[in-house]
Chain A
């Protein structure tokens, strides 16, 4: 007879651990294989000599510093990616990232990613799947940044099958993943709708879970909905890997190798794309093999290359693991606690039912000043001089804000077409005046804008029609203008007076 024990998450003990065990075995076998490959032709005397001849000062501390700086930038990126739905300070976001990395160093099967998602969910107060989606998005951005850096390096270095193969495999994996992310960013409703319609076949319970899961996953990539934000996130990712590349670069002179940034970039990218292969916790074996192979491909002797790989791995492994342990201690999380954190981010099947199918956090209102370019366009489209001089700035700001919100609310792909059209107009303006739109004098900008808005080319006129109609209505219906047009009685109070009189009569 079984004794009643403390409540555990359903299936946690058996199903989850079995899966982990399989991953651990596969990872260990893989690590052993890569270690064997790395060490098969090694002359151990030369290897230990190379290690002994290493001059760590000042390269090793600088390398670690560069790597650590990269983690702060990762924290900043994590904060940005969540900024629509939650506020997370950079130190806190960095802690979450570092904890994930440290967990990857001590837990098998990249469980650190799940730890990171679990912590992120807890710290930011967002659903677990949304946090997981953000974590995956970070990984995809990392992959794209690495591919970009490897491409740059491959263009400068002698052609090698290793680079071609890595680029090919990386482009396939991250191309597919980026396609999926792009779809989720561009067509979130279509994806949720498709999921809902498909899941209906399996009953209400399954349907609601699927819809909730898809909604949360899609929310995780919602930060990328503007082109600027997407490019910004990619640029940040490149910055992160440039800093991590700094570690690879700064350790080259420690082994008497020339500090070539392209060699360092190649080693960084091939190694980090290579460790996507299964391995033991801490990527032992895979890391060494790919790092060493890159350098050997570029003409470095095997013994030096392996020594270099060993030191780079230690610089990568030790500081972040210690940092992670410190954070875990601060948070009061043990190793088993980390595993539990990982379970938190497991698929939703273990979670309790909630009344709503899904909850969506408020998008943080960003009270930004109206776009200066749009303000210039609006000023050229409306007779701003008709407004009293003292109120012109206020009127123009209100008009621009209204136009901005109306353009943002256009359905489907139209906001993007509008943005594309405006970018084209900016480009033409720059060509015509040989300066950016903001620096074109108002008296020259107005006839230029009018030539487009009221010109003879129908598609261009139609494009500007949306802008000018909204701008004009916002301008002439502005309280200041109505007061000006009507004389002393403001329109609103006229309407209000009559309204109140009628209500009183009623």
Chain B
């Protein structure tokens, strides 16, 4: 038997990788987790955005998704991955979505009932629930608008028990209240025997025939020097996230159905000015979402800091810059669409080791964003906003219902949209339909005996809701299926 470093290598420690490591370590397997980012103490979290971005985000925060309408994308690059910098909003995969995945992609054994125990487990592990604190003003105003429009809202459960409303989720929760993987699942995985090695970027998978024999990785030392290391294992789980997983696979010569079907939830943000001090920057983001128009679009609240407000206002900065003087009266909301366009992920040929991402925004997405903006603007005006500033270049502020209603029938200018996203997935979809999918229903890559994916990249297509819950439930199901199968 050849000497191995571990029975299982898990690449990445985000929502997928951490759960995989925990389940496999609990099953008695020898597991090594390789994480590219660094491990941070709680005291490092909550730093000002520029410093937090350099420390916790991939490429220091700026990852453009290329296309005719470029989209700003961010993802975490630290122990815990994006769960360290997201809002902690929690959804289960809707029944409708799971049905679609079953019929269109042949995803087996992933019905709502079959996934329920995994969701139950994850919700308990992360302490998912609604807030027991009074709503911040930005949430109250949003609720008022929804009620006046005659729609319904739901307070979205969050994986943040005991949230102190520091509004620092995106910089890493400094109170430790948010259940990022580094505070929730990974400690359990470590207790079960998994070894987590931070600061190690996997550069290449080593394959021989139908087997993956290990990886070549670069470990960066604190003095800036680095080493190329070889790790060998019986089984490899690639859980590097929706962009890095396909990039790594393609770099390693694995291209079949890999990196051609990226989906994202494009978000259009608006800054709303009220005639009272909302102080949105001093509290947690608005906790409500309107799912009245789901699955095509959803409305909700976005992180609000002066910097983020300025970025939204910047699409029409010459007209809007004075609004920053009233930043206490501003709050930040979004229109999110399911995203029917398709994107691609490729390892960059030029330059140092990096990944290029592209996305083609569909006409349908634009129509939905336009209608969503009309509805969100009407909602905010009904809530008492004096002006709604959309992140669309050349679009004046919306101050009346009729100005808002215009976009119900008229599409927004595609090239003027200032879009962002934090949700990307489906770059290596899984399912039994080999003509559509890169991996089988449990994440094993077609053509390989011991190489699996288990992160956001495996989702069949856009779930239309915050994906962390779905990723964790599917990752647990896949890991348990692997652990219980004869090897």
Interface residues of A (CB under 8 A from B): 186-190, 192-193, 196-197, 200, 204, 207-208, 211-212, 215, 355-363, 365, 383, 386, 398, 402, 405-406, 409-416, 450, 453-454, 456, 458, 461-462, 465-466, 468-470, 472-479, 481-482, 485-486, 491-492, 494-496, 498-499, 501-503, 506
Nearest chain B CB to A401's CB is how many angstroms away? Answer: 9
Q: Is the CB of B347 within 8 A of A189?
A: yes
Q: Is the CB of B174 within 8 A of A466?
A: no
Kindly specify which of B6-14, B46-54, B82-90, B150-158 makes contact with the partner chain.
Answer: B46-54
The answer, among A186, A356, A450, A470, for a CB contact under 8 Å with B350, is A186
The answer, among B213, B314, B349, for a CB contact under 8 Å with A472, is B314
B134 on interface, CB distance cutoff 8 Å:
no
B325 to A, closest residue via Cβ: A386
Chain A positions within 8 Å of B45 at CB level: 499
9 contacts between A and B (CB under 8 A): A357-B229, A409-B62, A411-B356, A465-B70, A474-B307, A477-B49, A491-B48, A499-B42, A499-B46
A482 to B, closest residue via Cβ: B306
B413 to A, closest residue via Cβ: A458
Q: Is the CB of B251 within 8 A of A193?
A: yes
Nearest chain A CB to B134's CB is how many angstroms away? Answer: 15
What are the 9 tightest A-B residue pairs by CB atom distance, in nearest-first order?
Answer: A412-B348, A362-B224, A411-B354, A499-B174, A502-B175, A473-B307, A356-B227, A477-B49, A476-B306
Q: Is the CB of B61 within 8 A of A468?
A: no
Q: Is the CB of A412 within 8 A of B308?
A: no
Nearest chain B CB to A226's CB is how many angstroms away? Answer: 12
10 further A-B contacts with Cβ under 8 Å, apart from A190-B347, A482-B48, are A187-B349, A190-B349, A215-B228, A458-B415, A461-B393, A472-B310, A491-B48, A492-B48, A502-B162, A502-B176
Q: Is the CB of B307 within 8 A of A200?
A: no
A469 to B, closest residue via Cβ: B311
Q: Is the CB of A477 within 8 A of B206?
A: no
Nearest chain B CB to A418's CB is how many angstroms away? Answer: 11
Chain A positions within 8 Å of B226 at CB level: 359-360, 362
Q: Is the CB of A495 within 8 A of B174?
A: yes
Chain B positions within 8 Å of A386 at CB level: 324
CA distance A494 to B308 in the complex (A): 18
CA distance A398 to B50 in the complex (A): 10
Q: Is the CB of A481 within 8 A of B306?
A: yes
Q: Is the CB of A473 within 8 A of B310?
A: yes
B166 on interface, CB distance cutoff 8 Å:
yes
Q: Is the CB of B207 within 8 A of A200?
A: yes
CA distance A502 to B46 in the complex (A): 13
Q: Is the CB of A477 within 8 A of B306?
A: yes
Q: In the complex where A358-B227, A411-B59 touch, is A402 in contact with B351 (Cβ < 8 A)? A: no
Q: Is the CB of A360 within 8 A of B228?
A: yes
CA distance A180 to B371 in the complex (A): 53
Interface residues of B (CB under 8 A from A): 42, 45-50, 54, 59-64, 70, 72, 162, 164-168, 174-177, 203-204, 206-208, 213, 216, 218, 221, 223-230, 232, 251-253, 281-282, 305-311, 314, 316-318, 321, 324, 327, 347-356, 393-394, 415-416, 418
Q: Is the CB of B64 within 8 A of A466?
A: yes
Chain B positions within 8 Å of A197 at CB level: 204, 252-253
The answer, among B216, B351, B355, for a CB contact under 8 Å with A196, is B216
Q: In the complex where A192-B203, A359-B227, A466-B64 touch, is A454 in contact with B393 (Cβ < 8 A)? A: yes
CA distance A208 to B64 in the complex (A): 34
Chain A positions within 8 Å of B63 at CB level: 411
Chain A positions within 8 Å of B306 at CB level: 476-477, 481-482, 485
CA distance A383 to B324 in the complex (A): 10
Q: Is the CB of B224 within 8 A of A363?
A: yes
Nearest chain B CB to A112's CB is how many angstroms away? Answer: 30
Among B165, B206, B416, residue most surrounded by chain A Cβ atoms (within 10 Å): B206
Q: Is the CB of A212 within 8 A of B228?
A: yes
CA distance A450 to B321 in the complex (A): 12
B214 to A, closest residue via Cβ: A204
Chain A positions within 8 Å of B281 at CB level: 486
B66 to A, closest residue via Cβ: A414
A383 to B, closest residue via Cβ: B321
B219 to A, closest residue via Cβ: A356
Q: Is the CB of B310 within 8 A of A409?
A: no
Q: Is the CB of B350 within 8 A of A412?
A: yes
CA distance A383 to B167 in the complex (A): 24
Nearest chain A CB to B259's CB is how many angstroms away? Answer: 14
Q: Is the CB of A360 within 8 A of B46?
A: no
Q: Is the CB of A412 within 8 A of B208?
A: no
Nearest chain A CB to B287's CB is how many angstroms away? Answer: 17
Q: Is the CB of A360 within 8 A of B324?
A: no
B311 to A, closest residue via Cβ: A469
The answer, among A360, A458, A468, for a CB contact under 8 Å with B227, is A360
Nearest chain B CB to A197's CB is how many angstroms away? Answer: 5
Q: Is the CB of B225 within 8 A of A360?
A: yes
Nearest chain A CB to B245's CB is how many angstroms away? Answer: 16
B217 to A, closest residue via Cβ: A357
Among A413, A453, A472, A482, residue most surrounded by chain B Cβ atoms (within 10 Å): A472
Q: Is the CB of A473 within 8 A of B49?
A: yes
CA distance A406 to B49 in the complex (A): 13
Chain A positions within 8 Å of B355 at CB level: 411-412
Q: Is the CB of B282 within 8 A of A494?
A: yes
Q: Is the CB of B393 within 8 A of A413?
A: no
Chain A positions within 8 Å of B415 at CB level: 458
Q: In the complex where A193-B204, A498-B175 touch, is A413 in contact with B49 (Cβ < 8 A)? A: no
CA distance A105 to B167 in the complex (A): 71
Nearest chain A CB to B10's CB is how many angstroms away? Answer: 21
Chain B positions within 8 Å of A412 at CB level: 348-351, 354-356
The answer, among A362, A411, A499, for a CB contact under 8 Å with B175, is A499
Chain A positions within 8 Å of B349 at CB level: 187, 190, 412
B207 to A, closest residue via Cβ: A200
Nearest chain A CB to B312's CB is how many angstroms away? Answer: 10
Q: In the complex where A189-B353, A361-B225, A485-B306 touch, is A501 in contact with B164 (Cβ < 8 A)? A: yes
Q: Is the CB of B350 within 8 A of A187?
A: yes
CA distance A362 to B317 in the complex (A): 41
Q: In the complex where A454-B316, A478-B48, A502-B164 touch, is A405 in contact with B227 (Cβ < 8 A)? A: no
A360 to B, closest residue via Cβ: B226
Q: Is the CB of A474 within 8 A of B50?
A: yes
CA distance A409 to B63 in the complex (A): 9
Q: Is the CB of A405 within 8 A of B60?
A: yes
Nearest chain B CB to A415's CB is how many angstroms away? Answer: 7
CA distance A355 to B227 in the complex (A): 10
The answer, among A190, A204, A359, A410, for a CB contact under 8 Å with B64, is A410
B318 to A, closest residue via Cβ: A454
CA distance A355 to B176 in the complex (A): 38
CA distance A153 to B318 in the complex (A): 56
Nearest chain A CB to B57's CB is how many angstroms away? Answer: 10
Q: Is the CB of B48 within 8 A of A479?
A: yes
Q: Is the CB of A458 within 8 A of B62?
A: no
Nearest chain A CB to B184's CB is how many angstroms away? Answer: 14
Chain B positions within 8 Å of A477 at CB level: 48-50, 305-307
Chain B positions within 8 Å of A474 at CB level: 50, 307
